[in-house]
Amino acid sequence: MRSIVLHIHDDDCFEARFQTALDLAKAFDGNIDCVQPIPFDLTAPGDIYGMGAAEMAPIIREAADKFQQKVEARLAAEGVTWTWAQDFDAAGYLLIAHAALADLVVLSTSDPAGGKAPSSLAGHVAIHSQTPVLAVPAGVRSFDVSAPALVAWNGSVQASHALRAAVPLLRRASSVQIATVEEEREMRSFDLPATAGAEFLSRNGIACEIVAIPRRGAAADVLRQAADMRKAGYIVLGAYGHTRLRETVFGGVTRDLLAHSRVPLFLCH
């Protein structure tokens, strides 16, 4: 993972994103592609000619420039390489554009606009980009690539994509467990068993253990508890969702994990 896109935005979750991207760049000798979208929808009710927006744009740009200088000073002190892109554009569009030639996009599990709602931005990028997303909770202050990894497996195409994309990380993990949450439904004919995932990892030189976890309560709660018990550093998860007009809506398990996970989520659609 040599090319890491980092969402630059001055919010409560930035420190978690920054430290995670920094640890990944150092572990993989990678470059941090800092992407700083500046919201461009500055119109207000009654401002039919956009005069207010025109007056506010330089102020917002100045604040963005100051934050850039602050972050670049920290990056220089850490001895990593980085690039910087800043533009008046919607965050999702700008991040997806830079993700096209990246190995990973580092975002937050919660909405950067504030609150504890699951990040619609992480959903938008994970669903519309072919690049995996690492969604980081606000409380994270480091990312240990050697920590145990938990892979959530249900045999779907999305789970397979996530597993394949996570190989560079999983090679560094001290242990890998493929966890299946026992369901009442029967497997569909095109679902892959956990053994198929284990065989794929074995061919890539990664040893793993398959764990079947009885379902007691919501699947997301079961996975969270499994990650806690195994001291997992992150969870690999297929990102599920669909779009309604321009809004991305996540499936239940993904949304619940984004809302409550204490460890980063490696998401791939």
SS3 (DSSP) at 237: strand
| Rounded alpha-carbon distances, angstroms, from residue 107 to 35, 97, 160, 199, 265 | 11, 15, 22, 30, 10
Instruction: Say if CB 151 and CB 163 are below 8 A apart.
Output: yes
Residue 142 lies in a domain: no
User: Of 136, 168, 187, which closes a domain?
Assistant: 136
pLDDT at site 254? 84
Instruction: Say if CB 13 and CB 114 are below 8 A apart.
Output: no
Residue 181 lies in a domain: yes
| Rounded alpha-carbon distances, angstroms, from residue 221 to 90, 115, 136, 252, 257 | 33, 21, 18, 11, 8
Q: Mind giving me the DSSP string for 167-224?
A: HHHHTT-S-EEEEEE--SSPPPTTPPPHHHHHHHHHHTT---EEEEE---S-HHHHHH
Residue 191 lies in a domain: yes
Tokens of 216: 């007691």
Residue with tokens 């253990």: 209
pLDDT at site 166? 98
Residues 180 and 261 in one domain: yes
Residues 117 and 156 in one domain: no
User: Of 103, 136, 169, which closes a domain?
Assistant: 136
Rounded CA gap, 170 and 149, in Å?
Answer: 7
Provide the 8-state DSSP code for 12. T
Residues 132 and 156 in one domain: no
Q: Mind giving me the DSSP string for 83-140?
A: EEEEEES-HHHHHHHHHTT-SEEEEESB-TTSSSSBPHHHHHHHHH-SS-EEEE-TT-
Residues 105 and 34 in one domain: yes
Residues 17 and 66 in one domain: yes
Rounded CA gap, 95 and 85, in Å?
Answer: 10
Residues 179 and 262 in one domain: yes
Rounded CA gap, 233 and 223, in Å?
Answer: 13
The range of the structural domain enclosing residue 33 comes to: 3-136
Per-residue pLDDT of the chain (269 residues; tens, 9 = 90+): 999 999 999 999 999 999 999 999 999 999 999 999 997 655 445 554 455 556 778 888 999 999 999 999 999 999 999 999 999 988 999 999 999 999 999 999 998 776 667 888 998 899 899 899 999 999 999 999 999 999 999 999 999 999 999 999 999 999 999 999 986 555 555 589 999 999 999 999 999 999 999 888 888 999 999 999 999 999 999 986 554 433 444 557 888 899 899 999 999 98
Rounded CA gap, 265 and 262, in Å?
Answer: 9
Chain Cα centroid distance, residue 190? 27
Residues 224 and 176 in one domain: yes
Rounded CA gap, 117 and 115, in Å?
Answer: 6
pLDDT at site 244? 42
Tell me the CATH number at 226.
Answer: 3.40.50.620
Q: Which of 183, 261, 179 is nearest to 220 (CA)?
A: 261
pLDDT at site 81? 98
Residue 177 lies in a domain: yes
Instruction: Say if CB 105 and CB 125 are below 8 A apart.
Output: yes
